[in-house]
Structure 1
Amino acid sequence: MEIVDYSYKKRGNVEFVFSPFPHSRVLLCPIKNYFFVRYVKWDDRDPIVERADLEHMEWLVNKHFGLEAWYKRRRAFKQPAEPE
């Protein structure tokens, strides 16, 4: 999975497009010092987004912005596995 495109929105939110889901938009919002998936504007042409996909998206976005140290400190953190 790779980040294809992103754009900044109001209140610090950032909207992303990821390679396995090219027609769907994912909105991430800042929580404390890292980004968290708020919702997915899913498109029928894309595969269904699973929980593991959401965790991988969060990891990629926080790594992209250099926030992986803060993201690792959250209570529910577990290293996302690479999808096959």
Structure 2
Amino acid sequence: MAQPNSTVPVENEQSRRFTAGDTVNVTKETGIPDCTGVISKKYVNSALVKFEVGGEMTQKIMEEINGRYVVSYRNLKKQEA
């Protein structure tokens, strides 16, 4: 019998630290500079982070990545309120 298709990501120790809507600092990620963004969707080992132009995030980079990028939880740090 086939298993139901679940769209809810499996939670693990790294992913439990974050929720959609969290503002995060992104560091050491290939393809983008160190910057700040907002988690828009969580996956098992990474999150889709949405960015805005500012600081090291130029308009050119934003166009190349379409304003968002999938980032490993290892390269995310939650910003304190």
TM category (shorter chain) comes to 0.3 to 0.5
Comparing both chains, which one has the higher relative contact order based on Cα–Cα distances under 8 Å and sequence gaps of 6 or more?
2
Structure with greater helix percent: 1
Structure with greater strand percent: 1
Report which of the two structures shows the higher radius of gyration computed on alpha carbons. Answer: 2
TM-score (norm: length of structure 2): 0.33
TM-score (norm: length of structure 1): 0.32
